[in-house]
Structure 1
C-alpha cells in the first residue's frame, strides 16, 4: 500500500509567537482589574438627593463610606429590591462576585456634611440603617506601580548595553551576552559572491598576484604535493579608490569559498578584551568553514605600530587586539586553508610584526591606473549608461590623468546626471567633458558678483598661464581655459599632463615657470600683483622644496634627501638638519622660485601682444580651447602627437635605420622656437 502524502493533509503549523504571551498577560490584567473593582456592571450611579429620598423611604440597609476615594456604596434591603423604582439594579451580576455587590454608588463632597445629613435623617425617621467606613485598595495596581520603576531601569540599561555593543539585536555581536562574538559578514560562495575578475578592469599586476591565491584555494594539492606553502596573508596597499576592496571580493567570487568581510574598526570596542575576543571568534569560524578567506578592510584601525601615541601609560585595547591578531595569524597551521586579505592606504603606519613573513607574506601594491587601464575601467562603468554615440574610450582615458577607479565611476555617474538635468535622452561626449570639469574644478558659479577690473585681472592671469605653458617645451599642453568661477577658484586652466615615471629637473622647472605665469602676467600688464596667485604659490613652493629636500636636484645642497619613507620620524619634533642647512634650504627654494618667476616675465614680455589678444578673447568668450591658442600662437612647436598612420610610418623608418622626415621637422621647429 502506498504511503499517503501528508504534505497537504497536515499543513505546517504556524510558528509560536511571543505576542501571544503578551496578549494573555494583558487579558489577565484587565480581568483582575474588572473583578477587583467589584463588578460594577449592575451598579448604578446616584446623587445625594436621591440617596436621602431612598433613606427616608427605608429602602437602604447599609451605606459603606470609602474614605480614600470620597465615594459611598449603597446596599438596598430585600423589600426595596422588589419595588419598581429599583428594578434596573435588581439584575444578577454578569460575573460571580466574591462579596456583596452595591446597588448604588455616589460621590459625596465634604465628609462631615454627608455624615450629618445621614444622622439627621436616621434620627428623624427612626431608622436602623448601618453606616460603615472602609478604604478601597487595588493590590494589583499597587504591585504594578511598585515594580514599574525597576522595570524601566532594567529596560533602559539593556537598551544602552545593546547600543554600546554595536548592534540592534540582529547580529551575533548585537546581543549583550554575545558582545565578544565576531561581527564579520559571511558571504556564501553560492549566493552572495557575484564579483569576478571580469568586473575588475585594469590592475593586471595585482590580479596576477592574487590569481595564485585563487588557484591554491581551488587546487591545494597542486602546491602541497611539491612541498610549497601558500602565503598566509596578502596586504593590498594603494591610494583610496583604486579598487582594493573590489579586488578582494573578486578573489572570493573566483575561489568559490566562504568569504568573511569586516572592517578594522569592527574590532574596536569600549569594553576591555572585546576586540581580542572577536579576533579569536573570527578565526574559529574561518577554520570551521575552511578553505575560507578573511578580508579585513582598513586594517590600520587596529594594525598601527605599537608603542606610539600611548602617552598615558595605560592599557591600550587596540594593542591587545593587534597582539591577538598577530597570534592568530602565526598560530593556525599551514594546512587549515585560511587566507587573510587586508587592505589599507596607510601601510607606513602598520606594525612591523604584522608585515613580517609568515603573517602578511605579500604586499600587493594597487596603483593608480595608467591610460590603458583607465580605458578598460571606462568600458566597465559605461555598460549600464545609455550613450548617444559611440564614445572614444581612449579619448576619455587621456582626459582623466591621475583618476582612480572610483573617480572614473564618479565621472560616468556625473555625466548621466548632467544629461538628465539637460533633459537629454542619452549621454553625449560633451556631458563627460562637463563631468570632468565639474569634478576637477567644482560647480560653475556664473552668478558670482565680480567687478570689471577683477574680471580683467583674472583673464590676464589665466592667459598668462596658457601663454607660458604653450611656449615651454616640458610644460603640460593646454586643453581649456575659463574665467567662469568654479568652486573656490575665480578662473581655471585645464592641462593634459604627460604621464611620466621619472621627472627631470628641466621638466619640473618648466612646470613651475608655467605655474608662475599668472602672477607674471599681472606684473607685465598692470605692473602690480594680487592675492589671486595663492594656489600657484603653494604649488611651486612644494615643488621647489621637493627638489631641494627630497629628490636631491639642487647643486648647493647636493645629493642628499631628508625624506624618510618608513615614516619613523613622522612624530619627531626635531629637523634632520642643522640651522645653517635650514637657511640654505630656504634660500635655495626662494632662488628657484624667483628664477622661474623672472623667466615667466621674460616669456610674457616677448609675447605681450599675443598675451593681450588671448586675454581679450577670453574676456569675450569666457571659455577658450586649444584651437583658439593655435589661431593666435600657431601650432605648438613641441607637440609630438601624430596620427596612427604617421606613427606606423615612423616606426617602419626607424626599423630600416632611416630618420623620419616628421621627426626632423619637429627637431628643427624646436630649435627655432626655443626660448
Structure 2
C-alpha cells in the first residue's frame, strides 16, 4: 500500500502523556516498596500500646523520631478491641499489617521500653527506620511544582501557544493573517475565475513578476507595490485573490481590514508592523487585505475628538510600511473594496497602490463562462443551453449566478428530479429576483382586480414604447413584499440617452396611470414605482446634466472625496428649480402613460381579465392582444420589477 509522503510519523509529546507517566512512576514505586499498601491502620495512644505490649499481642514495631508503626500477631486479631483494624480496605483479614500508627513523644524512652519488652519476650522484633529527607522535600516541592505547572499552562493559553480560543492577551499585537504557500492545498486557480479577462491579466502579471523578476528588471522595470481591486459586491474580487494564492509559488498572507481593528490602543499599528515583518522574512511575498475600507477610510472627516485616533494610527502605519523611509522590498499588497470613494487619498497614490483594477459586472459573454464554471458540479440535463441562461440574468454578478445555480439544484431536488433542467433555472431566477411566491396570502376580489389592472398597465405601456423594456412575464401572485411582479427584457447599454430614460419612466408610471384610467382612483400600490421614477428624474436633473433649464451641470461627486461636503453645492433658488424640474418630468411621463392607456383602454381591460383568470401571462398573450411589437429584438433578457 502506498504511503502518504506528507504523513508525519514523528512522535509528538502530549501534556496528557506526562500525567500518565507520573501515575505510572508512582505505581511502580508502590510495587517496588513491598507492593501496594491495602492495610487499614488505626491510630492509638501510648497507654493503649503499652496494654497491647503487656498482653503480648504485638508482633513487630518500626519507628522513627516522630511516629511508630505497630504490627499485631495473628492471634491478637481475634480480640474485639482490634475489630476496626482486623480487615484491610478490601474487607479481607489484615494479617500482614500494619495495624496501628502512633505518635511518639520521647524517642529514647520509647526505645528503652521496647528493649525491655524484647528482653522479656513480649515482642518479636523492633527496629528504628533510617532518617530520610525525601518525604519532607517532596511535601515542600510538590505545591511549588503544581503552581509552576499551572502558571505555565495559563501563560500558554493566554499567548495562544496551546491552541485555545480564549485569552490571546500576549499575542494581541501579532498579525492575524492566514498564510498560504505551496505546501497548502489551495485549489482555486485562474481557471476557476471565469470572465474578468482584464483583471486576470493584470493580476497574473504580478504573479509572473514574482516568479520571473528578471524578465522585467532586465529592461529597468520595477515591481508594482500594490494593486487595488474595486467593484460592486459579488463580482469576484476575493476570488481573484484566492486564484493568486493558488497560482503564486510564493507565500501569500490573507486577512481582512477589520482584523487590524481592536479596542486596545496601538494594537492595529502593531499588527501592521508584524504583518509586514513576517512578509519581509518570507519575501518575495503577497499580502491580501480584504475590505480595506475598514482601516483605510479617509482621515479627518466627521472625526469626533479622539474617536478615530486608533484607526488613523493604524492607517498611518500601513502607509509607512507600503511606501515609507524603510520600505519593504519584494512585498506586494493586494486589496479589495467596493467602497473606493471613502479611501484616503494617500493610500490610493502611485507608489502604494500603483494599479486600480475595476472589476465590473459581467456581460453576457462573461456570464456564460461563469455559468459553465458553476454548472460543472451539477447534474444537468443535456439540452441545457448556457447561452440562454446568460440571457436570462442581465445585471447578475458572479455571486448571483452561483446562487442561481445552487437554487436551481435545490428546486430540482425538491421536485424529485434526477437532473437540473431549463425550467428549474427559470424558477430560480424568479425566486431570487421576485421573491418567494405567497399563494396562501388572502387577497380580496377587488384588490386582485386592482393589482391586475396595475400590472396590465405596466405591460401595455412598455409594449407601446420603443425604448422601454418589453415585458416577458407578469404575475399577480404575491411575491416577497410585492403583490405582483413583472419580468422585463432590458437592453444592456453602456450609455443611456434622454429618450430612453423618459420611455422607462413612462412605463414605470403605467401602473398608476392604469388605475386612474380604469377606476378614476389611485392607491398606495405604486410606491416602488414612484421611488424608481423619482430616482431616475433626479439623476437626469442633478447628475447627468440632461435638463435643458439647468443646463450642462452636475452636482454629483463620483470620487466621494469632495472637500466641500458640509453644505449643498447649489443655492436655495437652484434647489427650487431642481424640485420643479423633477416634478415636471414625472408628471409629463405620467400624463403620457395615461394618454397611451386611453387609446388602448379595451385592450388593457382584456389583458387584465386574462391576468385575473390565469394569474400569470406571458409575451405570447400580449402578442395575441396587441400584435407583434414593431421594434422588438430577438436577443432579450428578462428582469423582474
TM-score over 0.5 for the pair: yes
**Kept in 2: contact 1:173–1:179 (CA 8 A):** no
* Cα gap change, 1:571 to 1:377, in 2 (>3 Å): farther
- Whether 1:552 and 2:551 are equivalent positions in the alignment is no
| Residue aligning to 1:297 | 290
Q: How far apart, in 2, do the equivalents of 1:586 and 1:569 lie? A: 23
| Residue aligning to 1:467 | 460
- Whether 1:598 and 2:591 are equivalent positions in the alignment is yes
Q: How far apart, in 1, do the equivalents of 2:350 and 2:186 lie? A: 29
For normalisation by structure 1, the TM-score amounts to 0.75
Q: How far apart, in 2, do the equivalents of 1:426 and 1:527 lie? A: 50
- Whether 1:524 and 2:526 are equivalent positions in the alignment is no
**Kept in 2: contact 1:299–1:344 (CA 8 A):** yes
* Cα gap change, 1:169 to 1:479, in 2 (>3 Å): farther
**Kept in 2: contact 1:444–1:485 (CA 8 A):** yes
* Cα gap change, 1:453 to 1:172, in 2 (>3 Å): closer
- Whether 1:16 and 2:18 are equivalent positions in the alignment is no
- Whether 1:211 and 2:176 are equivalent positions in the alignment is no
Q: How far apart, in 1, do the equivalents of 2:12 and 2:96 lie? A: 36
Where 2:380 maps in the other structure, the secondary structure is coil
The one-character-per-residue Cα deviations of 1:290-332 (angstroms, maximum 9, x if unpaired) are: 2221111111111111122330236722111111111111148
**Kept in 2: contact 1:330–1:359 (CA 8 A):** yes
Where 2:567 maps in the other structure, the secondary structure is coil
1:187 shift after superposition:
1.1
2:349 aligned residue (346, 352, 356): 356
1:203 shift after superposition:
0.7
1:193 aligned residue (186, 190, 199): 186
| Residue aligning to 1:67 | none
Where 2:170 maps in the other structure, the secondary structure is helix
**Kept in 2: contact 1:172–1:183 (CA 8 A):** no
* Cα gap change, 1:613 to 1:29, in 2 (>3 Å): farther
The one-character-per-residue Cα deviations of 1:447-494 (angstroms, maximum 9, x if unpaired) are: 111111111111110010000000001000211100111100000101
Q: How far apart, in 2, do the equivalents of 1:379 and 1:615 lie? A: 39
| Residue aligning to 2:109 | none
Q: How far apart, in 2, do the equivalents of 1:373 and 1:504 lie? A: 25
1:329 aligned residue (322, 330, 341): 322
- Whether 1:280 and 2:273 are equivalent positions in the alignment is yes
| Residue aligning to 1:183 | 176
| Residue aligning to 2:437 | 444
* Cα gap change, 1:93 to 1:599, in 2 (>3 Å): farther
1:581 shift after superposition:
1.3
**Kept in 2: contact 1:400–1:436 (CA 8 A):** yes
1:24 shift after superposition:
6.5
2:250 aligned residue (243, 246, 257): 257
Q: How far apart, in 1, do the equivalents of 2:10 and 2:150 lie? A: 36
* Cα gap change, 1:300 to 1:642, in 2 (>3 Å): closer
Q: How far apart, in 2, do the equivalents of 1:239 and 1:427 lie? A: 29
- Whether 1:491 and 2:478 are equivalent positions in the alignment is no
**Kept in 1: contact 2:454–2:510 (CA 8 A):** yes
Where 1:100 maps in the other structure, the secondary structure is strand
* Cα gap change, 1:382 to 1:556, in 2 (>3 Å): same
1:42 shift after superposition:
3.0
| Residue aligning to 2:120 | none
* Cα gap change, 1:44 to 1:212, in 2 (>3 Å): closer
* Mean CA deviation greater in 92-101 or 471-480: 92-101
- Whether 1:508 and 2:506 are equivalent positions in the alignment is no
5+ residue gaps, structure 1: 1-11, 32-38, 46-54, 62-74, 102-139, 644-675
1:626 aligned residue (603, 616, 619): 619
Q: How far apart, in 1, do the equivalents of 2:212 and 2:295 lie? A: 33
**Kept in 1: contact 2:71–2:98 (CA 8 A):** no
1:389 aligned residue (379, 382, 385): 382
* Mean CA deviation greater in 383-392 or 328-337: 328-337
Alignment of 1:414-433 (within 5 A): 414-433=407-426
Q: How far apart, in 2, do the equivalents of 1:93 and 1:420 lie? A: 77
**Kept in 1: contact 2:41–2:99 (CA 8 A):** no
Where 2:393 maps in the other structure, the secondary structure is coil
Where 2:253 maps in the other structure, the secondary structure is strand
* Cα gap change, 1:395 to 1:360, in 2 (>3 Å): same
1:372 shift after superposition:
1.1
* Mean CA deviation greater in 471-480 or 276-285: 276-285
**Kept in 2: contact 1:276–1:320 (CA 8 A):** yes
- Whether 1:310 and 2:303 are equivalent positions in the alignment is yes
1:344 shift after superposition:
0.5
| Residue aligning to 2:398 | 405
Where 2:254 maps in the other structure, the secondary structure is strand
Q: How far apart, in 2, do the equivalents of 1:495 and 1:480 lie? A: 7
1:405 shift after superposition:
0.4
1:613 shift after superposition:
0.9
| Residue aligning to 2:582 | 589
**Kept in 1: contact 2:269–2:313 (CA 8 A):** yes
| Residue aligning to 1:236 | 229
- Whether 1:480 and 2:473 are equivalent positions in the alignment is yes
2:40 aligned residue (42, 56, 67): 42
1:420 shift after superposition:
0.2
2:86 aligned residue (89, 101, 105): 89
| Residue aligning to 2:371 | 378
**Kept in 2: contact 1:610–1:632 (CA 8 A):** yes
* Cα gap change, 1:80 to 1:93, in 2 (>3 Å): closer
The one-character-per-residue Cα deviations of 1:615-658 (angstroms, maximum 9, x if unpaired) are: 11111111111111111111011113389xxxxxxxxxxxxxxx
Q: How far apart, in 2, do the equivalents of 1:515 and 1:239 lie? A: 25
